[in-house]
Structure 1
Amino acid sequence: MVGLQWSKEGLQLSLRIQPAGLVIAVVYAVACWGARKFSLDQFYLPAGVRVAALLVCPPRLWPYLLLGEYAYFAQMRIPMIGRYGLAWVVLGSVLLMPAVAMIVHLHRRMMAGTSVIWLLSVAASAAIVVTAINLTGSHLLWPVPPAIPVTSSAARMILGDFIAILTLALPALLWTRRRSEPEWSRRFVVPTLAAIALTLLLGISSIVTPPETDGAKASVLLLMALPAIALTCMHGWRGAAIGVPLLNLIIHITTPSTGLPESFDAQTFATQQSMAVVSIALLALGSSISHYRQQYRTREQAEKAALALARTSQISSEIILRERALHLQSSGEGMDVSLSQVVTWLQAHGHHDTAAALLHTSARHSRQFREQASMLYPTALEQLGLYLALQTGGLRESWERSDRMAQPRLAGDPCRLSVDVQLAAYRTLSDAVSLLLGQETGQLRVHVRCGRVRQQRGIVIVVALLDSDRQLSQATAALARERLAARALAYGGAVRCRHNRVSILLTETALPASRWSDALLRTGAA
């Protein structure tokens, strides 16, 4: 690496050579040399090698790529000095890599995003700039300018460089971002392999098609775009990074060639123009799909994090309530012991009537105290489960005093659910019943069912008007969704108000409501 530093003697130039950088330079030079052997003006692979190398290597290693480029041009163009002149050999070789490196550098901010549409800009800019440098040098510096018109040469070279850049830069970009979405390769494995196999099959059929059937061959080449479209729809820009290079390579293999870089086939050139448009469309489509998929994944992760935070907050609140309830129970037990001692003393001194009255009053107040403590936190739920807590706690006594509650229907085994879910169901049921008792008239019925759907355990709570001909008011339905949705969503469920009932689903995992949520709600409402 080259560096500048100041010292007492003045400005000093330091040069540090890394062995790995020399290896990169050699590999790059060999890759360009080998790619040129299989290239045409309308499909010039070294242009793709240049951009792909700049994408794969970090900027600190670009000087070694420049060294490899100069080595490649030296072995190729030094023998041409006698024919084209020294000025062209030097100037035509020294500007290409710096120009393309500057183009890639100007797009580096865009590279950090999820979209890869910037690659089209890099490919088009690099193809135009490199073609302009090559044509300007050949027409100004060659002793005899080329006989091919400038417009024809520019069209061939721009299209050839553009297609070659997409062919090699897309796999390079796929390699550099191989860890950005590791799970993409596990999606649609069978359809992906089928699409790749179909592309190869169509490519083989185009290769073996007789040369005289040019129309059929062109049709087969265009049909190869269908598997590429399927790959793009399945994997976004990564699918396009697989399909587009396959298309371009197969078209290149089927192109008739004289073996010289200047060889040209007009019919294949027309097909390449169509494929260039298809490549642009596929990359743009795939980039959009990947971008919106990433946005959806980000929102989904944020939603899961918010639900987990809400669930943790509710659990923390329950822990505080549990401590208070245990403290109240301890205080109640202490008061019972003290009253028992007072009753015993009164009885020992002959105050039997006073002792009986005090005993009766203390028993009634102790029962009410315990009912209120159980409504603060149902400690019996931890040992006996949700259903027994509902049947023996203060919530049951409160319902009976209202004279508006029918006998609840309880189905399933709640003990298979975690205590957190059972406690959330207890709170949700209490809130739902209180809401309907305050907002509606008439008798209510409660139906609770625990079960499993698609390996997912959950509980469905239905609080409904006993009169099936009545319907919940819009104000009651809106209030139920507002008050009950927070806990339901925190436990991966949903709230639904239909006709005369409010249905609430709670599940073991805090996941967004989906199809099986509807299935559980229908099961509980049946």
Structure 2
Amino acid sequence: MEKGSWRIEGLKQIAVALGFVLAYEAAHPLSPPQFGLGSALRLLWLLFLPYRYWPALLVGEFVPNFLAVYPCLDQFGALWVVFRANPPLAFMMPIVWFCRARLALFPSRRLINVKTLLICVIACSLVLTVYGSVAMVLAHMQPDTLPLTPVVAVCYFIGIYFAMLAIVPWPLIARFELRAGRWHDKFLRALRSRLLLEGVAVLLPVTVLLAFSSYRSSTSYAQYMLMAMFLPVTWLSLRHGWRGAALGSTFTLVCAACVLPSEMLQANVLVVQTEVFLALTITALFVVGARITEQVQLGRYGNDDRLLARQSYQQGEQRLRQTAHALDITAGRLHLSISRLLRQMHRFHPHIENEIYYQQAMAAHLEVQQLAESLHPAAWRERGLPAALQESIGRVLDEAGISYRCEITGRGFTRMHPALLAAAYRVACEAVVHVSGRLACSSVRLTLRGGETHRMRWLVLRVEGAMDDAKVARAIHNVVDRRSLATKLGASGMDRHRLREQVRIFDGELHYCCRPERVRLTVLLHDARKASTDDAASMRLWVH
């Protein structure tokens, strides 16, 4: 079995290397100096693939790279061949690893850190520019070669940067959209979106018109026409956020690359000024668009509004805790009082049957206890959130004939804000009620994971209900207990929209997956932070 797994892993490594070679060879003829498509392709492979496949990428680029530069041994010398044989991927890997592992390029499975993405693109463009510049310097040691000038270096950098800005965001958006639902539905929704309609009907014709006017105009007017290309991108970014900036930048940068000189020797100061201006404006529009998208995702809550909502949430939970504790005490006192009363009645009237009255008294006592348990479980008050998730929810589901499994991993639960823990329990109860709403639900699995990333504590809660049509008859037998799940758990039966609004109070995300065999609801919650940290977090630029 172990040999088989090693064989499969080896085949995967070979497939990755061959796939990269084929993709790079296909893109190489479409990579002019003013639009480095091959560099964007390298960055995409590094962003998508796990780290264990990176050595295969190195091999996949080294072999064709060496075969391409070795025939130039007599023309440029051995030193140039040795340097150029090194894959450019090797110089990009430390940057991409640092951005993915240390700068939270992907904070979650459905979020992109635009600020880190721009840092990664700029850093990779600089490294590849240095790589190409060193290669040109080594080649210039031989006669009749292109000299390295500042204009050539800047044009080389802008060409790589243009391609990465235009190409890289779209595969990332597509990956996150496919994770969020079925690709067919997402594709049809994208075709009917106003973003695509306005991009094709307004932005594309205006951009093509400006590019054509620049191509047909004199040098001075051509520069102004190219610089004016950022205007439709600005309009689309303000309307649709960072995806509008991505779509507009793709159209604009591709049209600009078609108009700009394809030979570096033809580049001059005016060309460099135009390229730098477009690069700066498009980068700024990415930041502005990401900021707009982030505000929309946060439900247009300001920092003060979220802080006030968290405080109100915590105060409400505290009142429920106090009420449940008072009801527990009242239930105990009620039980003692009725027991004493029944003993006194039996003393004066020995022939009275006390069993019926005692059963009624116990039923009233249990009802008061259940009410207190639904408001705030005793296990939560005494032993914390893990005990409430394991015992309180498990007991209610067991009474309804639904098997239950709870897994709690991670760390830092004791350091998390009480409001966050309260929100996790309430969301768990709402999710359990939601997934067990079908009669075919035979089992529920709850997974809670806590952790800390970049000094930010978080919780991930996943509730998954398994559907089994063969157990519907048993569910019908326990239909009364199933209908009372929400009452016993203190849930209000929220739909996904209302639950998502509650999750956003804690800067969270909700993901819902519904299939015939299971229903899964996943929630990410972030710990409540102080105002200073909240202000700093407001510039995270996390979007999807």
Normalization by structure 2: what TM-score?
0.50
Tell me, in whole angstroms, the C-alpha distance in 2 between the residues paired with 1:306 and 1:145. 78
1:272: how far off? 3.9
Match of 2:18 in 1: 26
Tell me, in whole angstroms, the C-alpha distance in 1 between the residues paired with 2:50 and 2:79. 32
Q: Contact 1:255–1:268 (CA<8 Å) still a contact in 2?
A: no
1:66 and 2:43 aligned: no
| Percentage identity across paired residues of the two chains | 15
Q: Contact 2:92–2:124 (CA<8 Å) still a contact in 1?
A: yes
Q: Contact 1:192–1:231 (CA<8 Å) still a contact in 2?
A: no
**Structure 2 counterpart of 1:324, which letter?**
R
1:129: how far off? 2.2
1:275 and 2:278 aligned: yes
1:137: how far off? 2.0
Match of 1:331 in 2: 340
Match of 1:429 in 2: none
Match of 2:151 in 1: 152
**Structure 2 counterpart of 1:36, which letter?**
H
Tell me, in whole angstroms, the C-alpha distance in 1 between the residues paired with 2:34 and 2:179. 34
**Structure 1 counterpart of 2:193, which letter?**
L
Q: Contact 2:321–2:375 (CA<8 Å) still a contact in 1?
A: no
CA deviations 1:176-197 (Å, max 9, x no partner) are 66699889x99xx799921333
**Structure 1 counterpart of 2:196, which letter?**
I
After TM superposition, the structure 1 = structure 2 runs for residues 127-206 of structure 1, keeping only pairs within 5 Å, are: 127-142=125-140, 143-144=142-143, 146-147=145-146, 149-174=148-173, 193-201=193-201, 202-206=203-207
> Which of these two proteins has the greater Rg computed from alpha carbons?
1
After TM superposition, the structure 1 = structure 2 runs for residues 58-137 of structure 1, keeping only pairs within 5 Å, are: 58-74=50-66, 76-94=68-86, 96-107=88-99, 108-111=101-104, 114=107, 115-137=113-135
Structure 2 vs 1, CA of residues 218 and 117 (structure 1 numbering), >3 Å: closer, same or farther? closer
Tell me, in whole angstroms, the C-alpha distance in 1 between the residues paired with 2:169 and 2:64. 23
CA deviations 1:426-477 (Å, max 9, x no partner) are xxxxxxxxxxxxxxxxxxxxxxxxxxxxxxxxxxxxxxxxxxxxxxxxxxxx
> Which range moves more in the overlay, 151-160 or 249-258?
249-258
1:63: how far off? 1.1
1:74: how far off? 4.0
Tell me, in whole angstroms, the C-alpha distance in 2 between the residues paired with 1:302 and 1:18. 54
Q: Contact 1:55–1:172 (CA<8 Å) still a contact in 2?
A: no
After TM superposition, the structure 1 = structure 2 runs for residues 18-57 of structure 1, keeping only pairs within 5 Å, are: 18-57=10-49
Task: Give SS of 1:41's match.
Answer: coil
Q: Contact 2:21–2:61 (CA<8 Å) still a contact in 1?
A: yes
1:43: how far off? 1.9
CA deviations 1:274-306 (Å, max 9, x no partner) are 332233324444666777867989987998688
1:112: how far off? 6.0
Structure 2 vs 1, CA of residues 140 and 491 (structure 1 numbering), >3 Å: closer, same or farther? closer
Tell me, in whole angstroms, the C-alpha distance in 2 between the residues paired with 1:46 and 1:423. 60
CA deviations 1:200-239 (Å, max 9, x no partner) are 332234325554365566535531232134333xxxxxx3
Tell me, in whole angstroms, the C-alpha distance in 2 between the residues paired with 1:268 and 1:257. 11
CA RMSD in angstroms comes to 5.4
Match of 2:232 in 1: 223
Match of 2:533 in 1: none
Normalization by structure 1: what TM-score?
0.52
1:44: how far off? 0.9
**Structure 2 counterpart of 1:275, which letter?**
L
Q: Contact 2:137–2:147 (CA<8 Å) still a contact in 1?
A: no
1:379: how far off? 5.7
Tell me, in whole angstroms, the C-alpha distance in 2 between the residues paired with 1:336 and 1:198. 83
Q: Contact 1:32–1:72 (CA<8 Å) still a contact in 2?
A: no
Structure 2 vs 1, CA of residues 72 and 286 (structure 1 numbering), >3 Å: closer, same or farther? farther
Tell me, in whole angstroms, the C-alpha distance in 2 between the residues paired with 1:378 and 1:290. 54
Tell me, in whole angstroms, the C-alpha distance in 2 between the residues paired with 1:190 and 1:180. 15
1:212 and 2:216 aligned: yes
Tell me, in whole angstroms, the C-alpha distance in 2 between the residues paired with 1:313 and 1:509. 23
1:322 and 2:323 aligned: no
> Which range moves more in the overlay, 192-201 or 168-177?
168-177
Tell me, in whole angstroms, the C-alpha distance in 2 between the residues paired with 1:78 and 1:245. 40
Q: Contact 1:221–1:251 (CA<8 Å) still a contact in 2?
A: no
Tell me, in whole angstroms, the C-alpha distance in 2 between the residues paired with 1:205 and 1:291. 28
1:64: how far off? 1.0
After TM superposition, the structure 1 = structure 2 runs for residues 231-380 of structure 1, keeping only pairs within 5 Å, are: 231-232=240-241, 239-240=242-243, 243-244=245-246, 246-256=248-258, 262=264, 270-285=273-288, 311=320, 314-315=323-324, 317-319=326-328, 321-339=330-348
Q: Contact 1:195–1:228 (CA<8 Å) still a contact in 2?
A: no
Tell me, in whole angstroms, the C-alpha distance in 2 between the residues paired with 1:94 and 1:282. 35
**Structure 2 counterpart of 1:124, which letter?**
I
Match of 2:381 in 1: none
1:78: how far off? 4.3
Structure 2 vs 1, CA of residues 257 and 218 (structure 1 numbering), >3 Å: closer, same or farther? closer
Task: Give SS of 1:224's match.
Answer: helix
Match of 1:469 in 2: none
Tell me, in whole angstroms, the C-alpha distance in 1 between the residues paired with 2:105 and 2:228. 39
Gaps of 5+ in 1: 1-13, 233-238, 345-376, 384-417, 425-489, 493-505, 515-526
CA deviations 1:286-333 (Å, max 9, x no partner) are 666777867989987998688568646744652553353144234324
Task: Give SS of 1:139's match.
Answer: helix
Structure 2 vs 1, CA of residues 271 and 27 (structure 1 numbering), >3 Å: closer, same or farther? farther
**Structure 2 counterpart of 1:200, which letter?**
V
Structure possessing the higher relative contact order (Cα contacts under 8 Å, 6 or more residues apart): 2
Structure 2 vs 1, CA of residues 152 and 28 (structure 1 numbering), >3 Å: closer, same or farther? same
Structure 2 vs 1, CA of residues 329 and 179 (structure 1 numbering), >3 Å: closer, same or farther? farther
Q: Contact 1:41–1:262 (CA<8 Å) still a contact in 2?
A: yes
Tell me, in whole angstroms, the C-alpha distance in 1 between the residues paired with 2:426 and 2:51. 49
Structure 2 vs 1, CA of residues 138 and 224 (structure 1 numbering), >3 Å: closer, same or farther? same
Task: Give SS of 1:42's match.
Answer: coil
Tell me, in whole angstroms, the C-alpha distance in 2 between the residues paired with 1:130 and 1:423. 60
